Amino acid sequence: MRKIVVTSGKGGVGKTTVTALLGRKLSLMGYGVVLVDGDVGLNNLDVVMGIEGKVVYDISDVLDGRCRLSQALVLDNESGVRVLPSSSRKLDVSPQAFRGVIDSINADFVLIDCPAGIDEGFHRAVSSANEAIVVTTPSASAIRDADKVRGLLSSYHLGDVSLVVNRVRYDMIRRGEMLTSKEIGNLLHLAVIGVVPEDDHVTVYQQLGRVPEFAVSEKSGDILAENVAKSTKNLVEPYMKRRWRWR
């Protein structure tokens, strides 16, 4: 089982949306996927997935023995992804207890949606994973925070740490107003395995729990999922019509 924490450091970069996109794409490839909301007290993964109305139990019920893990997992409306919601109440969940729940999951991939910031919730989520994906946008502040997270991740025994650049504007890149994803990867010393362009469909359709197949971000999700599934570092920059291979 591959346990991958999706983190960012900075909030508002689309980390939860990337987690949902990747999870659904891996599921459509035939893998068993469970998404875990690691943000205890500020949960929103179920909202992004459009399944909040189906939630009966959450991770706090599992930890307190009020239900079995299988009872707390909620099936996604659009794929075979199962979601373990977090609690809306602020709880004192130890890293050991959280890791115990993660380790009891039976799936090919467990994607942990890490809380924003670098406090206790970050370390709790990261300590339960064996791989990490850092999500950033091309903004200077997001890149700076991603660099801080990269440094913190280096203290953990993770098999792989890679990068997803979200909300890319290719028109701005062509005008020289935005760094390319390859340049961002070089700055952070991380291999870029996914580039998700700015996509209004995400905002418009998120309340429905899905994004239409014709959306640009959906096509980017296919590349990201293929890299994750195959543990490759291939990156296609559509605006440059060029394929980069990271080694």
Q: Collect all residues with Cβ–Cβ distance below 8 Å to 230 and sequence separation of at least 6.
A: none
Question: Contact at 8 Å (CB) between 245 and 230?
Answer: no
Kindly give the pairing relationship between strand 109-113 and strand 2-7: parallel
Q: What is the reported pLDDT for 242?
A: 44
> Could you read off the pLDDT of 161-178 as tens digits, one per residue?
999 999 888 788 788 888
Structure tokens at 99: 């890791």
Question: What stretches of the chain show up as alpha helix (H) in DSSP?
Answer: 15-28, 45-48, 59-63, 69-72, 95-103, 120-126, 140-153, 170-174, 181-188, 200-205, 216-230
Instruction: Tell me the C-alpha distance between 178 and 158, whole Å.
Output: 30
> Could you read off the pLDDT of 74-117 as tens digits, one per residue?
999 889 999 999 987 777 888 999 999 999 999 999 999 999 88
Q: Which residues pair with 75 in a beta bridge?
A: 82
What total of structural domains would you count in the chain? 1
User: CA separation (Å) from 134 to 37, 40, 239?
Assistant: 16, 20, 22
Q: What is the reported pLDDT for 245?
A: 44
> What is the DSSP code (8-state) at residue 86?
P
pTM of the shown model: 0.90
Taking CB atoms within 8 Å and a gap of at least 24, the contacts of 87-91 are 87/40, 87/41, 87/43, 87/58, 87/59, 87/60, 88/41, 88/43, 88/58, 89/41, 89/60, 90/40, 90/41, 91/40, 91/41, 91/60, 91/63
Q: What is the reported pLDDT for 216?
A: 60
Q: What is the reported pLDDT for 213?
A: 58
Q: Collect all residues with Cβ–Cβ distance below 8 Å to 100 and sequence separation of at least 6.
A: none
Question: Contact at 8 Å (CB) between 110 and 125?
Answer: no
Which CATH number goes with the domain that contains 123? 3.40.50.300
Query: What is the domain extent for residue 39?
Result: 2-245
Q: For the chain, list residues with pLDDT below 50.
A: 204-205, 240-247
Question: What stretches of 78-234 show up as alpha helix (H) in DSSP?
Answer: 95-103, 120-126, 140-153, 170-174, 181-188, 200-205, 216-230
Q: 214 exposed, middle or buried (CB, 10 Å; 0-12, 13-18, 19+)?
A: exposed
Instruction: Tell me the C-alpha distance between 35 and 49, whole Å.
Output: 10
SS3 76: coil
- Tally helices (H) and strands (E) across the chain: 11, 10
